[in-house]
Amino acid sequence: MQHIEHYFKSLTESKTPHNLYEPIEYILNQGGKRIRPQLVQLGTTVFGGDTAAAIHPAAAFEMLHNFTLIHDDIMDNAPMRRGQESVFKKWNANIAILSGDALANMAMLELLKTPVNHDVLIELIELLGKTSLEVCEGQQLDLDFETSTYVTIDQYIGMIRKKTAVLLAGCLKAGALISNASPIDQEKIYQYGINLGITFQLKDDLFDVYANEQLFGKQLGGDIRSNKKTYLYLLALEKANEKQKEELIRWFSCSDEDDTIKFNAVKAIFDQLNILQHTETVIEYYIAKAIEYVKDLTVEADKKELLIHYANELAKRNK
């Protein structure tokens, strides 16, 4: 991904006003895992496309992702991102909102540079637009769940499918599109990505409670402090006895308690219920489901191995 780092550095050079573009430069050059560009490149490689042409959709989907992060951090009041101050914390909320909006528009303009025929370009634009809209729908559902009395695990999986998974799936499909893969293969690689994305979010839910804070790059317990009904919380409610359930509901109904006390109390219940181990089992299920979609792709065995290896590595990530 070295080339995309250089590419991002060139995108905001000498652009004004500075208070609009400096936050964009700041978040794009923080690095991060670059999973979205990796997936565009992976989708292109698997279907034998032009990896040089993939730079534009790779950059566009990464811009879209970072736009969502800027706005998510405002909504979550999150002070840290990737081990550094979040954009709204470093500047202010108004600048962060505007820079996020600008970054979303830059993503669309970037996509238009992709050297493909008109029909494929229209499909790429539709894919980016649909993905962006679904991410917003997922984020709204996530916010709604914070104040909902009752949320099922199925509803939660549906929410993270939109908030997280469609973006990863869209990246893989973009690579397939520019490589002229068949519609059937495009759908299979998309569903592979959906299951990877669900896995990715479940891992993030785990990391919020169980990660090494320095590796994770964010403050632990942010979801608990915000009363977010994550997979861990919903699973704990299912497995809890009456006393544990009452305690969990009480902690997730208050916002004025000491953050550290609240985090430690909730984590203690998760530990009693073996939530870490149960969630890891579910992660293995979604990885296996992703790999099932790989088996029927009309590509060479070594290309399938690339996808299987990527899925297994994603499941093992520690940050």
- Average pLDDT score over residue span 207-217: 79
CB contact at 8 A, 169 and 289: no
10, pLDDT greater than 90 = no
280, pLDDT greater than 90 = yes
Q: What is the pLDDT of residue 256?
A: 76
| 104 within some domain | no
Query: Residue 275 maps to which CATH number?
Result: 1.10.600.10
- Average pLDDT score over residue span 181-207: 97
Exposed (0-12), middle (13-18) or buried (19+): which is 105, by Cβ within 10 Å?
exposed
Q: What is the pLDDT of residue 201?
A: 96
89, pLDDT greater than 60 = yes
**Nearest-angstrom CA–CA distance, 217 and 46:** 31
Region of poorest pLDDT, from 96-105, 219-228, 239-248: 219-228
| 14 within some domain | no
57: nearest Cα among 185, 177, 162 = 177
31, pLDDT greater than 80 = no
85, pLDDT greater than 70 = yes
Contacts of 8 (CB under 8 A, 6+ apart): 28, 29, 59, 62
Alpha carbon 69 to its chain's center = 9
Structure-derived torsion over alpha carbons of residues 154, 280, 195, 105, reported in degrees to the nearest 10: 90
| 36 within some domain | no
Q: What is the pLDDT of residue 154?
A: 97
Q: What is the pLDDT of residue 240?
A: 97
- Total structural domains in the chain? 1
Q: What is the pLDDT of residue 2?
A: 58
CB contact at 8 A, 98 and 20: yes
CB contact at 8 A, 318 and 212: yes
| 306 within some domain | yes
| 192 within some domain | yes
Exposed (0-12), middle (13-18) or buried (19+): which is 316, by Cβ within 10 Å?
exposed
**Nearest-angstrom CA–CA distance, 101 and 317:** 31
Q: What is the pLDDT of residue 161?
A: 98
| 12 within some domain | no
Q: Peptide bond preceding 183: is omega within 30 degrees of 0, i.e. cis?
A: no
**Nearest-angstrom CA–CA distance, 110 and 172:** 17
Biggest alpha carbon–alpha carbon distance for the chain: 62
Name the residue type at position 161.
R
| 59 within some domain | no
Predicted TM-score (pTM) of the model is: 0.93
- Average pLDDT score over residue span 65-87: 91
Higher pLDDT, 6 or 15: 15
* Long-range contacts formed by 112-119: CB under 8 A, 24+ apart: 113/56, 114/53, 114/56, 114/57, 114/178, 115/50, 115/53, 115/56, 116/53, 116/177, 116/178
| 76 within some domain | no
Contacts of 44 (CB under 8 A, 6+ apart): 50, 51, 53, 54, 175, 176, 178, 179
215, pLDDT greater than 80 = no
State the residue range of the domain holding 198: 135-316
Instruction: Report residue 284's pLDDT band, with 50, 70 and 90 as the boundaries.
Output: very high
**Nearest-angstrom CA–CA distance, 221 and 207:** 9
Alpha carbon 141 to its chain's center = 15
- Work out the angle between the directed axes of helices 231-239 and 259-272 (0-180°, nearest 10): 50
203, pLDDT greater than 60 = yes
145, pLDDT greater than 60 = yes
